[in-house]
Structure 1
């Protein structure tokens, strides 16, 4: 999974997107805060390769992008939109290939701008970035080559508070940043940060009207935060090997950023600090049961803006969820299987 797979829909219901064999499944709350419905297949009966990217627009619509097999030895990208958790998602729509044709080139990433247009990013065969953007009134623009070189797995696409789309990608010894100068414009490679990054650890979050913040783990195991135009800040030692999940929330009247990560010990670790104030410091607090090595974690806010965390394990099919209690601090309810 690439992106936040725990999503609050337009109607306030939460939904989760999971990969099972050769299909994407969705589970949704029957009502806000209520019981969960059984899983349903997204996009019809089309067979998919085992990876999917999820992006949520400001309108609450979820956009999903995955690879599907086409002819032997080749694949193509497909896209589906899920307007409301209780409704069926649209059928998978073919997007083609960043190189015209060929096999899978990398895990895609997707972000949705203020106009509701999905922007799909994926490595191309030359090691750079290919992008496909949705038109505001339907259809898609042609594939664009955004350049870049030796791009690694784990792209981080994000929409800023301005509604413009940005992309972060790791390359050997650096992080690349693309951004739009205006809505609908071609993203431009505008900055490169020299940094030794562990592949697969990028996660981006909109943190102010002017900035997005990228979280990544460096080769010494430190979790760092970077906003283009400034120097990166070391936040704390990473709790585990994968990327963090991040969400902005209000804690005791303060605008805070909450991070979650599966720890090396197997539990979920949480850390919070005042948004964009990394010098204030942060520390991990572990919660919940020990999880399988392949478990991932995702954060969102529910219909009352309370923090919700979920973990999913592809090997066991186990899905666990907790919410913030209605009391000061970050007290959480007991983790429940859904």
Structure 2
């Protein structure tokens, strides 16, 4: 799964999304902070590949993108919108293929602009990035080639506080960054830097009115932060092999960035620091039980502005959840299975 799969909906309820065989499932709270419903299939009965990209609009709507088989050795991308966890999601609608037809070309990424339009990014067969963007009044614009080369499998899409959409990608020798210069425009390739990046570790977050920050692990094992126009900064040693989850939240009255990652011990490790102040330092604190190797971590802020962390193992189907206690620091409630 690419993107935050723990999402606070427009009605304040939390939802989680996951792939299960040839389907995408959703579980949601019955009410904010309340018990959880059983898993439901999303988007109708179409059979999908086990890949999912997620994005959340400022309106709280969840946008889901997956690949579906369309023929022998051929696939196409599909999109669904989930307006509220209590309602059924829209049926999967086709948005085509970046090369008109062919096999899957990579894991998609999705971001939603200030007007609620989904932007779907995916690697194309030439090794660059292609974009399909929703029209403001429905439907999709034609696929656009955003250029780039030697792009790796997983992309990191992000929406800035301005509502404009950006994208990060790793190559074999560095990082690329695309950004919209104005609302509704195609993102343009603004910057490329040489840095040794470990594949599959990108996660982007809006961190100020004008900037987004990319978190990634370099080949030496350091978790780094990069804001375009500056040099990457090594924040601390990575807790584990996969990408971090990241969210901005208020901790003791300060604007902080909270990171979470499944550590090499199998537990969830947390680290927080003042947003965009990497020089202040950060350190990991582990929490919860040991998790299966395929467990993923996601972070959100609930209706009461409390941090919520969730872990999900697709092999076991186990969903665990914790919330920040109403006390100073980052004290968490006991993890519970839902």
TM-score by length of 1: 1.00
- For 2:18 and 2:71, the matched residues in 1 are separated by 25
- For 1:72 and 1:192, the matched residues in 2 are separated by 37
Q: Which residue of 2 aligns with 1:144?
A: 144
Q: Which residue of 2 aligns with 1:204?
A: 204
Q: Which residue of 2 aligns with 1:153?
A: 153
SS at match of 1:311: strand
Q: Which residue of 2 aligns with 1:258?
A: 258
- For 1:38 and 1:317, the matched residues in 2 are separated by 12
SS at match of 1:305: coil
Q: Which residue of 1 aligns with 2:321?
A: 321
For residues 105-151 of structure 1, the C-alpha deviation after alignment (integer angstroms, 9 at most, x for no partner) is: 00000000000000000000011001000001100000000011110
Q: How far 1:153 sits from its partner (Å)? A: 1.3
Pair 1:110 & 2:110 matched: yes
Q: How far 1:72 sits from its partner (Å)? A: 1.1
Q: Which residue of 1 aligns with 2:99?
A: 99
Alignment of 1:15-164 (within 5 A): 15-164=15-164
- For 1:293 and 1:32, the matched residues in 2 are separated by 30
- For 2:333 and 2:93, the matched residues in 1 are separated by 39
Give structure 1 stretches of 5+ with no counterpart.
none
- For 1:206 and 1:154, the matched residues in 2 are separated by 19
SS at match of 1:279: helix
- For 1:215 and 1:304, the matched residues in 2 are separated by 27
SS at match of 1:80: strand
Q: How far 1:254 sits from its partner (Å)? A: 0.4
SS at match of 2:310: strand
- For 1:231 and 1:219, the matched residues in 2 are separated by 16
- For 1:98 and 1:254, the matched residues in 2 are separated by 43
Give structure 2 stretches of 5+ with no counterpart.
none
- For 1:259 and 1:244, the matched residues in 2 are separated by 6
Alignment of 1:196-235 (within 5 A): 196-235=196-235
- For 1:52 and 1:213, the matched residues in 2 are separated by 23
Q: Which residue of 2 aligns with 1:187?
A: 187
SS at match of 2:279: helix
- For 1:128 and 1:161, the matched residues in 2 are separated by 26
Pairs aligned (count): 338
**Which of structure 1's runs of 4+ aligned residues deviate more than 6 A?**
none
Alignment of 1:304-315 (within 5 A): 304-315=304-315
Pair 1:245 & 2:240 matched: no
For residues 224-261 of structure 1, the C-alpha deviation after alignment (integer angstroms, 9 at most, x for no partner) is: 00000111111000000000000000000100000000
- For 1:303 and 1:185, the matched residues in 2 are separated by 33
SS at match of 1:87: coil
Q: How far 1:178 sits from its partner (Å)? A: 0.2
SS at match of 1:152: strand
- For 2:27 and 2:113, the matched residues in 1 are separated by 25
- For 1:318 and 1:153, the matched residues in 2 are separated by 27
